[in-house]
Structure 1
Amino acid sequence: MINRRIESITEGILNELNITSAKKIDIKKICEFYGVDVKSEDLDVDISGLFVIKEKGNYIRYNANEPEHRKRFTIAHELGHFVLHKDTPLFISKSNNVMYRNLDSSTGEIKREREANSFAASILMPRKFVLDEISKIPKKTKDPVSHLADKFRVSEQAMTFRLANLGFDIGLVDY
């Protein structure tokens, strides 16, 4: 299900940064625009990323050992926490406010986790850009979902969820 508020927020971000196509979506540069430091780290296997709020500055750390598509989604997810939830942290660790993305995050059980996932999907696969790319899929393409996932540099699973949330019948993407 599409969260219109989050769609509007991400659309505004992309417009403000003059991002006009899928290939121009550089999630690390978007984080940089917001003053959020992003770096990879060797995190525990069950932690994909974390967002930390500190007096000296906010930062995102993502698991260096995960595939590139997952890293991008994790960074976008953590940025979602910054944009949507920075005043209401999920976990508090001493004097730092820390938000984690782990295996439970992908189940969408916590409202803020679902919102961060929605933000990540919306900023990495904006509705307008998805519709535009669908119209450009070559007719002989055997797997349109895979084709779109490659264009947006996301996993096929992320693209499948996004297309379903946008109202497309997966497998019958009309292009």
Structure 2
Amino acid sequence: MHHHCTKAELYREIHQLCEGLNITRDGYPLDMIQFCQERPDIEVACPCFKTPGLKGISCLSTQGEPNVILLNGTLSWKENNFTCAHELIHITLHKGGPAKSFNCFEKAKPNQDAFLEWQANEGAAEILAPAHLLFPYIAEQYSQLTTWKDYGSFKAKLASIFSVTEAVITYRFESLKYEISQYLAGTPLDRVQFLSASRQRQAGISVRSLNDLEAELLHKETATFKKIHDRKLNLRSIDIHS
């Protein structure tokens, strides 16, 4: 896969990858760890990493031996489920590049290729919680999201449905904010335009994400409670010295 692909091109690559791996909509939620363990061309192990922030390592096959995925044994299954999908992207889409191994951290390191890590994160998210399955849930629930707690409950529900962490759902809400806005406005899924954040900025597109709407509701509720609390503490209207 070429280094400077667009978001739409990445998604097409991911869909082709899923087809090649026989991942169908009937197979959701996906257990990527078991899936990779069952493949003869991949070896998976879960050692307890001592390096702070290290979540996964992938070693690409060079002479016919299996690819290797190492997952942090101290993390939860859902966290490792996403990391396994992330490392699978490196193994399958980045095998033609100069790198023969990838160390993936909680926060990207300066010496890492930020674009390849974006591809792996975005690709893993699309494998585990694909837009064509995620968007209908959002459209069905959207009108009922009237408080910030509703958003929190909805994220937890989606995380359970797709066997990912709520952080992955939050990431999807943010990275797909433009695409979600199109779908909620009535655009059919096959007509939705997928654009990266940089391409959106270049086109002058500014869209609030579901995370932004959640934050706005939380801010309003917090401000309301603060006003009520301040009124209760306002003693100037009472002569307490009488």
TM class, shorter-length: 0.7 to 0.9
Conserved 8 A contact 1:25-1:124: yes
> Taking structure 1 as the reference length, what is the TM-score of the superposition?
0.78
Bigger RCO of structures 1 and 2 (CA < 8 A, at least 6 apart) = 1
Equivalent residue number for residue 166 of structure 2 = 156
The answer for unaligned runs of 5 or more in structure 2 is: 1-5, 181-208, 215-242
Q: Distance in 2 between matches of 1:52 and 1:159?
A: 28
Which residue of 37, 41, 44 maps to 1:38? 44
Deviations 1:69-107 (A, max 9, x none): 2101111111111122112254xxxxxx22111133399
Q: Distance in 2 between matches of 1:123 and 1:24?
A: 10
Q: Distance in 2 between matches of 1:36 and 1:5?
A: 25
Which stretch has the larger CA shift, 16-25 or 159-168?
A: 16-25
Conserved 8 A contact 1:37-1:58: yes
Q: Percent identity?
A: 22
The answer for unaligned runs of 5 or more in structure 1 is: 91-96
In proportion to residue count, which structure has more strand? 1
Equivalent residue number for residue 69 of structure 2 = 60
Equivalent residue number for residue 221 of structure 2 = none
Q: Distance in 2 between matches of 1:101 and 1:166?
A: 23
Equivalent residue number for residue 76 of structure 1 = 85
Letter in 2 for 1:67: S
Q: CA deviation at 1:35?
A: 2.1
Conserved 8 A contact 2:29-2:163: no
Deviations 1:12-67 (A, max 9, x none): 23344151157342313543447222221122232111001243221101001011
Distance 1:22 1:131, change over 3 A: farther
Q: Distance in 1 between matches of 2:98 and 2:140?
A: 41
Which residue of 7, 11, 17 maps to 2:15? 11
Q: Distance in 2 between matches of 1:106 and 1:153?
A: 27
In proportion to residue count, which structure has more helix? 2
Say what the alpha-carbon RMSD is for the aligned residues: 2.9
Q: Does 1:105 align with 2:108?
A: yes
Letter in 2 for 1:42: C
**Matched residue pairs, number?**
166
Larger Rg: 2
